[in-house]
């Protein structure tokens, strides 16, 4: 999943981004509202961690601009981060289009849990565990299993599997996967997507099971919606 962290407190923004990257997310950072809007203009994000109080274009203005832009489809989830804990401030942020609200100072564990919860809404899930085609992904414990076998995945493989399972049955192009699973520093001209899919496939099939990731020639890749027959 591709996330954007927006906060003019650079140390906080970098710390949040580092923590989220350690959990396998692809994370970009913007240090003010204008930079955030610029990045939102050409990058599709799944979720934005958005500080409210910033000089110039503040977080509420960014949120309103995102919700008003019909070219941003699908719309990202928005988690507002703010030192303002008054009820009227929380109501105002939600009315601007935020999906959730977290008051500073906060524990990173709570932010991480709220991010997972918001992304599960996007995937249509209600719990921390996704189960698709005989594969089980526990986003809270960062564990993956196929049947009785635990999968030993890198952070990037876990993130790729998460995105595939959240979009089961949908043909995903290499460009789409690069946009949502890798961050802005990824080289679009490398074969990193193909290589990572190859290693993920091998790990999913290491117990002799059939593949759950199909190559759709000329279009991309598709994760099975149902468990394949042996």
**Matching CATH number, 129-223, of 1.10.10.10, 3.40.190.10, 3.90.1150.10, 3.40.309.10:** 1.10.10.10
> How confident is the model over 7-30, as a mean pLDDT?
94
Domain 2-123 is found in CATH 3.40.50.2300: yes
* Other C-beta atoms lying within 10 Å of the C-beta of residue 226: 11
Side by side, the strands of the sheet bearing 129-132 are 129-132, 135-138, 143-146, 149-150
Mapped onto helix, strand or coil, the DSSP state of residue 51 is: strand
Residue with tokens 């994370």: 27
* pLDDT tens-digit series, residues 89-144: 778 888 899 999 999 999 999 999 999 889 877 554 445 688 899 999 988 788 99
Question: What letters, b where the CB count within 10 A reaches 16 and e where it falls short, cover 88-117?
Answer: ebbebbeebbbbbbbeeeeeeeebbebbbb
Q: What is the pLDDT of residue 37?
A: 95
Give pLDDT, residue 74: 81
Residue carrying the six token digits 């240090």? 31
Residues of the chain above pLDDT 70, percent: 96
């Amino acid at each position: 999943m591709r996330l954007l962290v927006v906060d003019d407190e650079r140390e906080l923004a970098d710390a949040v981004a580092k923590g989220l990257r350690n959990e396998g997310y692809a994370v970009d950072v913007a240090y003010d509202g204008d930079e955030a809007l610029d990045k939102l203009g050409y990058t599709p994000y799944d979720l934005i961690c958005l500080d409210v109080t910033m000089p110039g274009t503040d977080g509420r203005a960014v949120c309103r601009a995102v919700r008003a832009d019909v070219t941003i489809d699908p719309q990202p989830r928005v988690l507002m981060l703010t030192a303002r804990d008054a009820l009227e401030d929380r109501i105002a942020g939600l009315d601007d289009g935020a999906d959730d609200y977290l008051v500073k100072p906060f524990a990173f564990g709570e932010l991480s849990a709220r991010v997972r919860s918001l992304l599960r809404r996007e995937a249509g899930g209600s719990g921390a565990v996704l189960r698709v085609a005989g594969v089980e992904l526990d986003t809270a414990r960062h564990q993956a299993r196929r049947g009785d076998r635990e999968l030993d995945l890198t952070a990037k493989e876990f993130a790729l599997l998460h995105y595939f399972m959240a979009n089961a049955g949908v043909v995903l192009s290499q460009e789409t996967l690069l946009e949502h699973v890798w961050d802005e520093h990824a080289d679009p001209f490398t074969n990193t997507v193909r290589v990572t899919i190859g290693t993920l496939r091998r790990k999913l099939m290491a117990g002799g099971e059939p593949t759950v990731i199909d190559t759709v020639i000329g279009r991309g890749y598709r994760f099975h919606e149902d468990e394949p027959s042996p």
